[in-house]
Chains A and B, each alone.
Chain A
Amino acid sequence: MIRLEKRPQPSQAWSLATPLVAVLATMIAGGLLFAALGKPPIEAIRTIFWEPLFGEFSFYYRPQLLIKGAPLVLIAIGLSLGFKAGIWNIGAEGQYIMGALTGAGVGLAFYPIEGWYVFPLMILAGAFGGWLWAMIPAILKTRFGTNEILVSLMLVYVAEQLLASMSLGLLKNPEGYGFPGSRNLQQYESAHNAELIANSGLHLGVVAAFIAVIFAYVLLNRHMLGFHIRLTGEAPRAARFAGVNPTRLILFCLGTSGALAGLAGLFEVSGPAGQVSIDFNVGYGFTAIIVAFLGRLHPVGILLAGGLMALTYIGGDIAQSNLGLPSSAIQVFQGMLLFFLLAFDLLTNFRIRLGAPETA
């Protein structure tokens, strides 16, 4: 009989090894899945993990890796702060949309004035939009004890409706021949989040993601606020005893994750996407939840996990077009990654014993 025995100390080795083991297990189980679908498994795995980085067209895919990875990392870093404290912001997708709307809105309001101040103002507006959207569940939770999971999630759908309404109405391009969608910010120099180095994929959002990683690392390891966040997640009563004000912590965690998601939205709308459109959001806010956990809520882990997730996105696209893999198979593949990670995660705190059960 197999049973689990709690370790006296969490295992350091396993906490580092589980992401790798999980990726390996995903490759094996994913390979079996692809084989069952009648596709060559090894080729499919190779296409997903190898092709984007070192394949024939990697000069095109590598920049994509940064473009897709940056918003994931930026959002996941914000989410991880709350998740560590047991505050569950599931609505980053909505905050991402709101950041894009408010940021793009400010930019479009200045059109066609060119000025150095336009883009900084857009950044502030983007962060503010996301922050404001996250403050709704935060204030409802602290005032009335509502569940932030439900409220933040439902606000995603409100934000999506708002996005549709904006791209059909207020922000619609007046010179767009009636098509939905705003002016293209890529063609408005002062508001364009251009690549810092041509064809590298490196735009300001990527820089912001790296800064967020460093900021989160310092906060969690060197600052009292980060210590209080971790303490609240591990032992809420001990946190109160240590002087943590739960209300302030909820406001901070939800606010920060909202602001970072809003920033991600702004960098996306003013750069790679270029315009506010009905189908602007592609689920970064939800995928970032997986990234946050895949990275074990650790800033550096999230950086790696964001890269890995971006890789499976791009590799999955290639596998779809080259091998004809169905897109749902790719989604299952990505889901497996989180599943295996959570499963192997158990080994950090438990060890597997074979033998008869015993209560000691």
Chain B
Amino acid sequence: MTDPLLSLSGVTKAYPGVIANDQVSLTIQPGEVHALLGENGAGKSTLVKMIYGLVKPDSGEMKLNGAAFAPAEPRQARADGIAMVFQHFSLFDALNVAENIALGMENPPKMRDLARRIRDVSQTYGLPLDPSRRVGDLSAGERQRVEIIRCLLQDPKLLIMDEPTSVLTPQEVGILFETLRKLRSEGTSILYISHKLEEIRSLCDAATILRLGKNVGSCIPSDTSARDMAEMMVGSALKTPARSTRSFGDSALEVQNLTVSAPSEFGTTLRDISLTLRQGEILGIGGVAGNGQDELLSVLSGELSTSPASVQLNGHSIGHLGPNQRRGLGLLSAPEERLGHAAAPDMSLTENAMLTGAVREKLAQGGFLKWGAARGFAARIIEAFDVRTPGTENAARALSGGNLQKFVIGREVLQNPKVLVVNQPTWGVDAAAAAAIRQSLLDLAAEGAAILCISQDLDELMEISDIFAALNEGRLSPPRETTGLTVEEIGLMMGGAHGMEVAHV
């Protein structure tokens, strides 16, 4: 057996009130794709931040090629051959690809040389990318390529990737995996963080699983079932959302030939969207981020108004109505961005319950607010959706992402909507909370509500939705029954060819 590239033993890191990593050990061999698995808050991020020099461990030992390794800052980690692709891109929309890459380099070469190197690397690794294109015009998959190429230019020995596929179409995932396999064959090790178990099974050679900051096991992903891995992550048997066979009622929400121009420069124009949603039905809308999801939600929630007839609720034209009038009629929504859109970060949960609940829960009378009733409503949400918080007077920003998401979804579900529109209902939420949220959506549909679920998590959409459609550059594909859809068909609906042609050099 060869000497490991990187080995961690007994690494511990504590923050006030929480031990993020407790005696964690991890060994990565040269040329190995190693998966790091765990729920949100399991300590994956802290661990890789230590490897990348962003955080210093309290105790424990890290060794790189057998020598003690304690990077004080990312620059030092990069000098030692460690590169990282973050989940959230740090790119400037208004600059082009080469300029963005130059910004992240210690000593950027001349632009012309850099552009040539970018082209070389992108062709070698099958990641088509034109160095002179403006980043604001790129798709999420292409932006990720910018980040990957930025790393590859450093010739890394270890590439850390944090949830790289969450923004990609199935075809783009395919391309990425080809690149990663090629890197592996050249001897580069990859530390791959994900919670998409099927991907890990097809790509990774080894896996380390964390739960609550501790090692809870390791496995060979190709020999382990996805369910077993998930149960190791969660620490208990998983509850699969139960769906009962449903019958659908009359049309509840109808959108006809809806065209809305982009509200901002980097927004997406919605083009000629039509859809029909029946009572008790769940419509899943997939697609890569930035293809009109936010805009579609705004049009349905009432934040963007349209011509009256293009949005109809139970046969009434509502396109011109504002959010509260729509709430009064039974159309509720939950936007993707929890902090700042669905909830006001510095306001208490009571105030955030008031934010959308005032109309249907009758929390206001003649314009005067009934804080007692709002507090009661907030308490009911916390109770019914198992939101972990000390109380209703806590600020929204003090809640973890998963708990706040449960609050945001619960707030709408408990108002008995006739139609509920949600965008990314389980984004950044741990598996148990995600299952609870999906179950609540299924239960709501079983009671006869129509649900429109916009999500980038295809597994989620396949699990809960009855019909499926995809958004691509502001256009909605014709809806299809979910049962019987194949991954290839979904990929094509999502505009699989999106950005896949060889770059225009």
Q: Contact at A235–B397, with CB atoms within 8 Å?
A: no
Answer whether residue A158 sits at the interface, using C-beta atoms and an 8 A cutoff. Answer: no
**B351 touching A227, Cβ below 8 Å:** yes
Q: Mark B392-410, 1 if CB is under 8 A from A, else 0.
A: 0011011000000000000
A38 within 8 A of B: no
Give the contact stretch, choosing among A139-147, A172-180, A186-194, A236-244: A236-244
**Does B356 lie at the interface of the complex (its beta carbon under 8 Å from any beta carbon of A)?**
yes
Q: Chain B's nearest CB lies how many Å from the CB of A197?
A: 34
CB atoms of B340 and A224 under 8 A apart = no
Residues of chain A within 8 A of B369, CB atoms compared: 222-224, 227
Q: Which of B293-318 contact A (CB under 8 A)?
A: 301-303
| Contact of A223 with B55 in the complex, beta carbons under 8 Å | no
Question: Which of A8, A224, A231, A359 gathers the greatest number of chain B CB atoms within 10 Å?
Answer: A224
Instruction: Name the segment of B117-125, B342-350, B378-386 touching the other chain.
Output: B342-350
Inter-chain contact A231/B15, CB cutoff 8 Å? no
Check A238 against B323 for contact (C-beta < 8 Å).
no
Query: A224 touching B367 by the CB < 8 A rule?
Result: yes
Q: Which residue of A lies closest to B340 (CB)?
A: A235
Chain A nearest Cβ from B243, distance in angstroms: 29
Do A358 and B324 touch (CB < 8 A)? no
- Residues from 199 to 247 in A contacting B, C-beta threshold 8 Å: 222-225, 227, 230-231, 234-235, 237-243, 245
Complex: how many Å from CA A231 to CA B325? 19
Asked whether any CB of chain A lies closer than 8 Å to the CB of B322, the reply is yes
Picked from A10, A222, A235, A360, the residue with its CB within 8 Å of the CB of B368 is A222
* CB-defined contacts of B48 to chain A, threshold 8 Å: none
Q: Are A234 and B347 in contact (CB under 8 A)?
A: yes
Residue of chain A at shortest CB distance from B13: A360
Q: Which of the listed residues A223, A234, A238 has the most CB atoms from chain B within 10 Å of its own CB?
A: A238
**Complex Cα distance A245/B398, Å?**
28
Decide if B337 is an interface residue (CB 8 Å cutoff).
Answer: yes
Assess whether B55 is in contact with A358, with CB atoms less than 8 Å apart: yes
Chain B positions within 8 Å of A322 at CB level: none
A235 is contacted by which of B341, B354, B358 (Cβ under 8 Å)?
B341
B343, B344, B368: the one contacting A223 at CB < 8 Å is B368
Known: A9-B395, A222-B369. A237 touches B340 (CB 8 A): yes
> How many pairs, one residue from A and one from B, have CB atoms within 8 Å of each other in the complex?
79
- For B345, the closest partner residue in chain A by CB is A235
Specify which chain A residues have a CB less than 8 angstroms from the CB of B301 in the assembled complex.
241
Q: Which residues of B contact A227 (CB under 8 A)?
A: 351, 354, 369
* Residue in B closest to A359 when the chains form the complex, CB atoms: B54
Chain B contacts with A in 363-381, Cβ cutoff 8 A:
364, 367-369
| Interface size class, chain A | 20 to 34
Q: Are B341 and A234 in contact (CB under 8 A)?
A: no
Known: A241-B303, A241-B323. A360 touches B15 (CB 8 A): yes
Specify which chain A residues have a CB less than 8 angstroms from the CB of B55 in the assembled complex.
358-360
Complex CA–CA separation, A224 to B301 (angstroms)? 20
Contacts of A360 in B (CB 8 A): 15, 46, 49, 55
Shortest distance from the beta carbon of B15 to any chain A beta carbon, whole Å: 6
By the criterion CB–CB under 8 Å, are A238 and B367 in contact? no
Report the minimal beta-carbon distance from A176 to chain B, rounded to whole angstroms. Answer: 49
User: Are the CB atoms of A231 and B347 closer together than 8 Å?
Assistant: yes
Q: Is the CB of A224 within 8 A of B364?
A: yes
Interfacial chain B residues near A234, Cβ < 8 Å = 344-347
> In the complex, which residues of chain A have a beta carbon less than 8 angstroms from the beta carbon of B337?
237
Q: Does B355 sit at the interface, judged by CB under 8 A? A: yes
- The answer to whether A242 and B323 have CB atoms under 8 Å apart is yes
B345 and A243 contact, CB distance less than 8 A: no
User: In the docked arrangement, what's the CA distance between A230 and B341, Å?
Assistant: 14
The residue on B at minimum CB distance from A225 is B367
| CB-nearest residue of chain B to A239 | B344
CB distance from B304 to the nearest CB of A (A): 9
CB closest chain-B residue, reference A231: B344
Least distance between A291 CB and chain B CB atoms (Å): 23
> Which residue on chain B has the smallest CB distance to residue A5?
B16
B395 contacts A243, CB within 8 Å?
no
- Is B495's beta carbon under 8 Å from chain A? no
Within the assembled complex, what's the spacing in Å between the Cα atoms of A10 and B397? 10
**Cα–Cα, bound, A360→B50 (Å):** 10
- Residues 165-207 of B, flagged 1 when their CB comes within 8 A of A and 0 if not, give 0000000000000000000000000000000000000000000
Report which residue of A237, A241, A360 has the largest number of chain B beta carbons within 10 angstroms of its beta carbon: A241
Nearest CB of chain B from residue A202's CB, rounded to whole Å: 31
A1-33: CB near B (< 8 Å → 1, else 0) gives: 000000011100000000000000000000000
Among residues of B, the one whose C-beta sits closest to the C-beta of A358 is B55
The residues of B that contact A239 with a CB separation of less than 8 Å are 344
Contact between A243 and B322, CB atoms less than 8 A apart: yes
Given contacts A224-B367, A231-B355, A359-B49, whether A241 and B398 have CB atoms under 8 Å apart is: no
Residue in B closest to A349 when the chains form the complex, CB atoms: B346
- A238 vs B397: C-alpha distance when bound (angstroms): 14
A241 to B341: give the CA distance in the assembly, Å: 7
Interface string of B267-306 (1 = CB under 8 A from A): 0000000000000000000000000000000000111000
CB atoms of B344 and A240 under 8 A apart: no
User: In the complex, A224 Cα to B366 Cα: how many Å?
Assistant: 9
- B320 touches A (CB below 8 Å): no
Q: What is the CB-to-nearest-CB distance from B353 to chain A, in angstroms, rounded to a whole number?
A: 11
Residues on B with beta carbons closer than 8 Å to the beta carbon of A241: 301, 303, 323, 335, 341-342, 355-356
Residues of chain A within 8 A (CB-CB) of B355 are 231, 238, 241-242
A295 to chain B: closest CB distance in Å? Answer: 19
Question: A163 to chain B: closest CB distance in Å?
Answer: 38
In the assembled complex, B56 has its CB within 8 A of some CB on chain A: yes
Contact (Cβ within 8 A) A10 B395: yes
Considering the chains assembled together, what is the distance between the CA atoms of A237 and B323 in angstroms? 12
B56 — which chain A residues lie within 8 A by C-beta? 358
- Chain B proximity of A151: nearest CB distance (Å): 24
Q: Which residues of B contact A (CB under 8 A)?
A: 15, 46, 49, 54-56, 301-303, 322-325, 327, 335, 337, 339-347, 351, 354-356, 358, 364, 367-369, 394-395, 397-398
14 contacts between A and B (CB under 8 A): A10-B395, A222-B369, A223-B367, A227-B351, A227-B369, A231-B355, A235-B344, A235-B347, A237-B340, A238-B355, A241-B342, A242-B355, A242-B356, A360-B15
Q: A230-B347, A241-B342, A242-B358 are in contact. List 19 more A-B contacts (CB 8 A).
A: A222-B369, A223-B367, A223-B368, A223-B369, A231-B344, A234-B344, A234-B346, A235-B340, A235-B345, A237-B337, A238-B355, A242-B355, A243-B323, A358-B55, A359-B54, A359-B55, A360-B15, A360-B49, A360-B55
Closest 4 CB pairs of A and B: A243-B324, A235-B344, A243-B323, A237-B341
